[in-house]
Structure 1
Amino acid sequence: MFLSVIRPLDFSPHIQIPGSATVTLSSLAGGAMLLANLLPPARCPLASPLRCQAPAHHHQPAVSRGLLLRGAGSPVVKRLPAGDWLLWYHSGARVALATSPDGLRWSPPVAPDPLLPSTDWWVFDTAAVRPGDVLVISGPDAPSSRRLPPSSSSAVYWLYYTGSNDARLASSPFPAADVAALPGLAISQDGRHWARIEGGHHTGALLGVGEDHPQGWEKRCAAAPKVVMHADGDLRMYYHSFDEMSQRHAVGVARSRDGIRWERVGKALEGGGPGSFDEGGVRQGHVVRDRAAGRYMMAYEGLDGNGGVSIGLAVSEDGLRGWRRCSESPALRPSEDDDEWDVAGVGAPCLVQMDGPYDWRLYYMGVRKDGEAAIGMAYSEGQGLPRFNKCDALLM
């Protein structure tokens, strides 16, 4: 069921819930459940210094490097101020949630499933949903110094997701270019119970494509929305689509004042030249603000000339223009071992900057030779431009 927004958002919008009184996001934030209710009671302290390795247990065998969670893809990872971690991911057609004390050892899925395909026949997401990004926003009554990062008791979660009426979005880790998909939005006060927000498109999506946007290059989809809050009243959404003129995927960008109504800006990043690791196009661009360098960094899927998928990095000073690759080589490649969990491709990157200014984690989806998807992690420590090594954590 959709929530109908009845006036422009200023991060304290009135929302009409069918069959109930009008509420505001500030009231939702004020009554939010403590995030501790999501997390298992046992707490495991981080090792110091952080080395992305779980403690050794002689009775537990090590598994493939980097592997954290099987049967999962499209990771969206958030590290909370208290040190706890949340992971939203897709499993089949639905969005699921796991928790962790350290970002390495993840719980079983938290009940209930956070987001399922819609049952309304007229909307854009009846067959499958995948998480794109989550903004954690504190209530407007909190002091500005506490809004980012928010306090756990006043947080509201904004889930930007990909929805489709094509079942192939659920059945393939890397969907074909002709799979129609659009971006959607849902909000939550605890990270697991969600209410959809109706966007401006007639299907409830945030953006339309094809005949609904005839002047655009996005004819088939606007997928994998990743959202950055650049400043108050200035949000940027990065998404990918397939350009029929160039026959390649590209990452586009849109801007919004309220997080619901979006205006396209244009392409942010396109595929590289002949012979490059991303000559076939770029997808799944996850953008974060680099605290150390004062610029924006994008991790993205690069498709080579044979359809192979690896992960590249690009940077931009303002996050809108001038995106340039950090290297002519991928930041992370698939495994070369046919038996490994990520031999058939690595993608859906999610960057997390750690406490050290040059310390990063890269959560990503790997695909096995038989098509099974899983989530893994690589890390980079103490380098200006990240070079990632796969984590040696144990699968929990």
Structure 2
Amino acid sequence: MSDLKTPIDQPGLILTPGSAGWWDSERVSSPQVLYCPDGTWRMWYYGRDASFDRQINLPTGRCGLAMSADGINWQRVPGSLTMGAVFEPHPDPSRFDSAHVGVSNVYFHDGLYWMWYFGGDRTVVEMGEFKAKGLNMRPGCAISRDGIKWVRLESTYRGAFLDLGKVGEFDALFCAWPQVLPDDDGMWKMYYHTLNPKRGFLVGLAISTDGFHWEKVGEILAAGEPGSFDERGIGTRHVLKINRQYVMFYEGVNNSGYHSIGLAISDDGIHWQKEKGEQAGGSIFSPAQKGSGRWDARAVGTPCVVALDDGSFRLYYIGANEGGHDELSSQHQIGLAVSAGTNFRQWQRWGEI
């Protein structure tokens, strides 16, 4: 539980897997970071230990919390659930989140922490020769007063707030990694993504007047052109308002399986225009150099952007190393990049010279 200092030869790295006996001793992933009203930084994230169900070929499993005085050096907070987790699969096998869960959005509202998460059950999905458990994922919500003990909110679809699309619809496989944005006009927007076997990863949108009852708008963002960093599609994303515009930082994947972060802009949060970045394939933040042996040389993703009082930004992300052939054979760890002043289109890893 000691603070972690970034290794000189691994710039950006701020949180590694936990020690033996912790729920996250194999991997940590998807940081959701808040600078809280009490002046502390809190990071919720998901991960797993090596004993978690290997048929679920995702980095998800359970969720935990770390705290920091500066948003850079973190200390784990022991939860009361399995091996120190603060959130885990539901024990009821009939629920949507009974096999694995992952946090994808946390915000503070009306004196409560609101966690939007996703989960899957033990259904095995077959796509050709590929089989995987827990892929039919849906979004859920939980609330907490302290960020440690969570109470699930119940909704229509076996506890979830959205159901899968019908056969032939773009989101028939899963509706996962939700991010909810309470908007200035009183409407709520839920951004999520899915995987379409023919078209790759796609972003969807649902809207609500109360944050509880949702109506799907449909697909809003798709794969990029051949040769681009997102030619196989768009996955996790973080939408926030900057200078009265909607700005989406999103994770794209290319045909070689390398993940980078890109940018899209919108005036209404519904219709989006991608911006071409200055890094590889049009991204704004790319993996470390191939063959470098760096902790994030294969993938940077699950962006979480925090605006600071001085107008600059922090980008918390996961990195994956090269050498793995799937989600469970690569090493997921958590990193930090900082913007070039107020320019959220240019980033540098924390500690990079």
The TM tier, using the shorter chain, reads: 0.7 to 0.9
How big is the shift at 1:269?
1.4
Q: 1:67 to 1:61 in 2, by over 3 A?
A: closer
Q: Is the 8 A contact 1:128 1:167 kept in 2?
A: no
Alignment-mate amino acid for residue 191 of structure 2: Y
Q: Which has the higher contact order (CA 8 A, sep 6+)?
A: 1
Work out which of the residue numbers 66, 83, 98 in structure 2 matches 1:126. 98
Aligned to 2:65: 97
Work out which of the residue numbers 307, 310, 320 in structure 1 matches 2:257. 307
Aligned to 1:317: 267
CA distance in 2, matches of 1:177, 1:283: 19
Aligned to 2:181: 228
Q: 1:74 to 1:167 in 2, by over 3 A?
A: farther
Cα deviation digits, residues 316-367 of structure 1 (max 9, x gap)? 112111333253621111112442111221111111111123x111100011
Q: TM-score, normalised by structure 1?
A: 0.73
Q: 1:66 to 1:384 in 2, by over 3 A?
A: closer
Q: TM-score, normalised by structure 2?
A: 0.81
Residue 283 (structure 2) pairs with residue 330 (structure 1): yes
Work out which of the residue numbers 121, 137, 142 in structure 1 matches 2:109. 137
CA distance in 1, matches of 2:31, 2:73: 14
Residue 219 (structure 2) pairs with residue 267 (structure 1): yes
Work out which of the residue numbers 373, 377, 380 in structure 1 matches 2:332. 373
User: Could you say what secondary structure the match of 1:335 adopts?
Assistant: coil
Q: Is the 8 A contact 1:233 1:256 kept in 2?
A: no
Alignment-mate amino acid for residue 297 of structure 2: V
Q: 1:341 to 1:109 in 2, by over 3 A?
A: farther
Instruction: Give the structure with the larger strand fraction.
Output: 2
Q: Is the 8 A contact 2:93 2:121 kept in 1?
A: no
How big is the shift at 1:218?
0.6
CA distance in 1, matches of 2:208, 2:163: 15
Q: Is the 8 A contact 2:7 2:13 kept in 1?
A: no
Q: Is the 8 A contact 2:99 2:134 kept in 1?
A: no
Alignment-mate amino acid for residue 342 of structure 1: D
Alignment-mate amino acid for residue 136 of structure 2: A
CA distance in 2, matches of 1:80, 1:381: 24
CA distance in 2, matches of 1:332, 1:109: 30
CA distance in 2, matches of 1:334, 1:100: 26
Q: Is the 8 A contact 1:184 1:205 kept in 2?
A: yes
Aligned to 1:206: 161
How big is the shift at 1:61?
5.8
Aligned to 2:138: 182
Work out which of the residue numbers 110, 115, 120 in structure 1 matches 2:78. 110
Aligned to 2:11: 65
Aligned to 2:305: 351
Cα deviation digits, residues 42-96 of structure 1 (max 9, x gap)? xx9xxxxxxxxx9xx9xx9635100000121011000123431000000211100
CA distance in 1, matches of 2:99, 2:150: 17
Cα deviation digits, residues 173-201 of structure 1 (max 9, x gap)? xx989922111111111111011111221
Q: Is the 8 A contact 2:251 2:262 kept in 1?
A: yes
Q: Is the 8 A contact 1:268 1:323 kept in 2?
A: no
Q: 1:109 to 1:63 in 2, by over 3 A?
A: farther
Work out which of the residue numbers 228, 231, 237 in structure 2 matches 1:276. 228
RMSD (Å) for aligned C-alpha atoms: 2.7
Q: 1:220 to 1:234 in 2, by over 3 A?
A: same
Alignment of 1:248-267 (within 5 A): 248-267=200-219
How big is the shift at 1:382?
2.3
Aligned to 2:25: none
Q: Is the 8 A contact 1:296 1:315 kept in 2?
A: yes
Alignment-mate amino acid for residue 334 of structure 1: P
What count of residue pairs does the alignment treat as equivalent? 310
Whichever of the two has the greater Rg, that structure is 1
User: Could you say what secondary structure the match of 1:311 adopts?
Assistant: strand
Identity of aligned residues (%): 35
Alignment-mate amino acid for residue 353 of structure 1: A
Cα deviation digits, residues 275-302 of structure 1 (max 9, x gap)? 1110110011211111xx2111111110
Aligned to 1:218: 171
